[in-house]
Amino acid sequence: MHPAVQHLRRSDPVLRDLIDRAGPFAIDYHPPVFATLARSIVSQQLSGRAAATIWGRLATAARPRRITPAFIASLSTEQLRACGLSAAKAASLHDLARRTGEGEIRFRALAAMPDEEVIAHLTPVRGVGVWTAHMFLIFALRRPDVLPTGDLGIRNAMCRAWSLSAPPDPGQMETLAAPWRPWRSVACWYLWRSLDNQAAL
User: Catalytic residues, which ones?
Assistant: 151
- For residues 148 and 191, give the distance between their C-alpha atoms in angstroms, rounded to a whole number: 12
Nearest to 19 by CA among 201, 194, 198, 195: 194
Secondary structure of residue 8 in the 3-state scheme: helix
- For residues 27 and 40, give the distance between their C-alpha atoms in angstroms, rounded to a whole number: 16
- For residues 12 and 8, give the distance between their C-alpha atoms in angstroms, rounded to a whole number: 6
- For residues 91 and 125, give the distance between their C-alpha atoms in angstroms, rounded to a whole number: 10
